[in-house]
C-alpha cells in the first residue's frame, strides 16, 4: 500500500501511536493497581480527581478540538500524562503526601478529556462507513501495544525486585515516552487536508463558532440516542477500578502485575481485531452486525463477572494467606491470569462496539467530535465514582455494582442498535454554518 501522509488511514495510525505513548503508558502504570504503589490510596484519590475533571473536559473536549484543531490540543494534552507519571517519583520520596499526585491527576483529566475527544473524532469520522470497524481495530491494536510494551518494561525492571512499589527509574522511563507522544501530536495533519480511501474529504462541515459549539454540546443532553447510550458510557470504564486494584493489584506480586499487563493489553489487541471482522462484515447489514456484537459482549462480560465472583469467594480478604501470587506458581496462578486476560478481551469488545455505534450515528466529523467527547465525559463520570468506591466499599459490593451496572446498560444500548440505519449521511457537504448543513442534508434526503 502506497504511503500517503494525508490519507485517513495514516492519520488514524499516527493518533494510534500518540495514544500508544501517552494513554498507553498511563494504562500500563494504572493497571499495576494503585499506580504501582503498595498503598493504593493516593492513586485512587488521583484517579478520582482525574476523572472528575475529565467529566467536564470530556464533554467540552469536542468543542475545544473543533475550535482549536487537533494538533495543538493533542500536543498540549500529551504533556499532562508525563506530569502525572512524574508525580509518582515525588510520591516515592514523600509517601504520606499524595497532594502532588492528586493535583496532577486533576490536570491530566483536563488534558485527557480533550485528547480523547480529538482521538474519537479522528477514529470514527475519518474512515468510510464500511471501514469503521477496521479503523477502530487498527487504532485499538496500536494503542494497546503501549500497554503491552509498558507491561514488558514493568516485568523486566521488577523481575528481581522484592518491593511492591515501582522505582524512580521506571517512572522516569514512562515520563520520557509520554513526552515523545505529546510531540508526535504535532505531526498530525489538519482534518481539512485529510482524504478518505475513495478520495473524498473527511470534512463534511466547515464552521467554528463558539456559540454554535456551546449549543451543540447542550443538545447532546436532549438527544435520544445520546441518552440511550448514557448507561453504556457510564459503565464503560467503571470496571477498571475493580480489575486493576482488586484483581491485579491485590492478588499478585509486583513482577506478576507487569506480567499480567502484557496479557491484559495483548487481549485488548486480540479482541479489537476479532470484533472488527464482524463489524465490517459484508455478509450482514449494519443492524444485524450490531446485534451479533451485542450478544458476544453480553456473553463475555457475564463470564467475566461470574469468574470474578468465584475468585472473590476463593480469596474473600483480597490477599492470599500464603502470600501474593507469582506467575511461576502454576498451581495457583493459572485461573486468575486467564480471568485477567478475559477482562482485557471483554474491555476491547465493549469499547470497540461503543465506538462503532457512535460512528454509525453520523459521518459528520464535528458532530462526532462532540459525541466522542460526550462518551468520554460520561465514561469518566462513572470512573470517578468507581475509584472512590474502592476506598470505602467492600470488594464484594463493588463486584455486584459492576455486574448490575453492566446489566442496566444493555437494554438502552440494544435500543440504539435497533435504531441504527444501514447508511448515515455519506455525501461530502461543505458549508459555513450548521443551519446550512441541515438545509443541505434535507435537500439530499429529498
| Long-range CB contacts (within 8 A, 24+) of 128-131 | 128/196, 128/197, 128/198, 128/200, 128/426, 129/286, 129/360, 129/363, 129/423, 129/424, 129/426, 130/280, 130/282, 131/197, 131/280
DSSP string over 291-334: HHHHHHHHHHHHHHHHHHHHHHHHSTTSS-TT--B-TT-HHHHH
pLDDT at residue 163, as a whole number = 61
- Fold (CATH) for 10-191+201-441: Growth Hormone; Chain: A; (1.20.1250)
pLDDT at residue 444, as a whole number = 43
Query: Domain coordinates of the chain in residue numbers?
Result: 10-191+201-441
- Structural contact between residues 364 and 220, judged by C-beta atoms closer than 8 angstroms: no
pLDDT at residue 80, as a whole number = 95
15 closest CA partner among 51, 65, 86, 85 = 65
Q: Residues near 240 by Cβ (< 8 Å), separated by ≥ 6?
A: 30, 347, 383, 386
pLDDT at residue 343, as a whole number = 95
How many Å apart are CA 260 and CA 148, to the nearest integer?
9
pLDDT at residue 78, as a whole number = 93
pLDDT tens for 76-86 read 999 999 999 99
pLDDT at residue 209, as a whole number = 61
pLDDT at residue 39, as a whole number = 61
> Which parts of the chain have pLDDT scores under 70?
1-3, 31-40, 160-165, 203-210, 213, 317-322, 423-446
Amino acid at each position: 500500500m502506497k504511503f500517503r501522509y494525508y490519507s485517513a488511514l495514516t492519520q488514524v495510525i499516527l493518533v494510534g501511536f500518540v495514544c500508544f505513548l501517552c494513554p498507553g503508558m498511563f494504562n500500563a502504570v494504572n493497571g499495576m493497581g494503585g499506580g504501582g504503589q503498595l498503598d493504593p490510596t493516593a492513586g485512587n484519590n488521583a484517579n478520582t480527581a482525574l476523572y472528575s475533571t475529565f467529566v467536564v473536559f470530556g464533554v467540552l473536549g469536542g468543542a475545544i478540538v473543533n475550535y482549536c484543531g487537533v494538533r495543538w490540543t493533542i500536543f498540549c494534552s500529551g504533556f499532562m500524562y508525563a506530569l502525572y507519571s512524574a508525580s509518582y517519583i515525588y510520591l516515592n520520596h514523600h509517601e504520606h503526601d499524595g497532594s502532588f499526585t492528586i493535583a496532577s491527576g486533576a490536570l491530566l483529566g483536563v488534558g485527557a478529556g480533550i485528547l480523547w475527544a480529538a482521538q474519537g473524532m479522528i477514529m470514527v469520522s475519518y474512515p468510510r462507513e464500511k471501514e469503521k470497524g477496521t479503523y477502530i481495530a487498527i487504532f485499538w491494536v496500536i494503542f494497546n501495544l503501549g500497554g503491552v510494551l509498558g507491561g514488558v518494561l514493568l516485568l523486566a525492571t521488577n523481575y528481581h525486585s522484592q518491593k511492591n512499589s515501582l522505582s524512580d527509574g521506571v517512572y522516569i522511563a514512562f515520563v520520557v515516552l509520554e513526552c515523545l507522544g505529546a510531540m508526535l501530536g504535532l505531526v498530525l495533519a489538519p482534518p481539512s487536508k485529510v482524504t478518505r480511501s475513495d478520495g473524498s474529504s473527511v470534512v463534511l462541515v466547515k464552521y467554528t463558532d463558539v456559540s454554535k459549539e456551546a449549543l451543540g454540546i447542550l443538545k447532546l443532553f436532549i438527544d435520544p440516542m445520546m441518552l440511550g447510550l448514557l448507561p453504556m458510557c457510564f459503565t464503560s470504564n467503571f470496571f477498571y477500578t475493580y480489575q486493576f486494584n482488586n484483581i491485579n493489584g491485590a492478588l499478585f506480586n509486583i513482577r506478576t502485575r507487569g506480567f499480567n499487563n502484557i496479557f491484559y493489553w495483548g487481549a485488548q489487541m486480540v479482541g479489537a481485531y476479532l470484533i472488527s471482522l464482524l463489524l465490517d462484515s459484508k455478509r450482514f447489514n449494519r443492524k444485524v452486525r450490531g446485534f451479533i456484537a451485542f450478544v458476544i459482549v453480553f456473553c463475555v462480560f457475564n463470564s467475566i463477572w461470574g469468574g470474578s465472583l468465584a475468585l472473590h469467594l476463593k480469596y474473600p480478604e483480597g490477599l492470599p494467606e500464603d502470600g501474593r501470587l507469582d506467575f511461576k506458581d502454576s498451581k495457583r496462578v493459572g485461573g486468575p491470569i486467564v480471568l485477567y486476560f478475559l477482562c482485557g478481551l471483554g474491555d476491547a469488545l465493549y469499547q470497540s462496539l461503543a465506538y462503532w455505534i457512535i460512528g454509525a450515528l453520523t459521518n459528520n466529523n464535528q458532530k462526532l467530535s462532540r459525541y466522542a467527547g460526550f462518551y468520554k465525559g460520561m465514561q469518566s463520570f462513572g470512573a470517578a465514582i468507581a475509584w472512590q468506591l474502592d476506598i470505602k466499599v467492600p470488594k464484594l459490593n463493588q463486584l455486584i455494582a459492576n455486574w448490575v451496572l453492566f446489566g442496566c446498560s444493555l437494554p438502552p444500548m440494544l435500543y440504539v442498535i435497533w435504531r441504527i440505519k444501514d447508511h448515515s449521511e455519506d455525501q461530502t457537504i461543505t458549508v459555513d454554518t450548521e443551519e446550512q448543513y441541515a438545509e443541505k442534508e434535507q435537500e439530499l434526503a429529498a
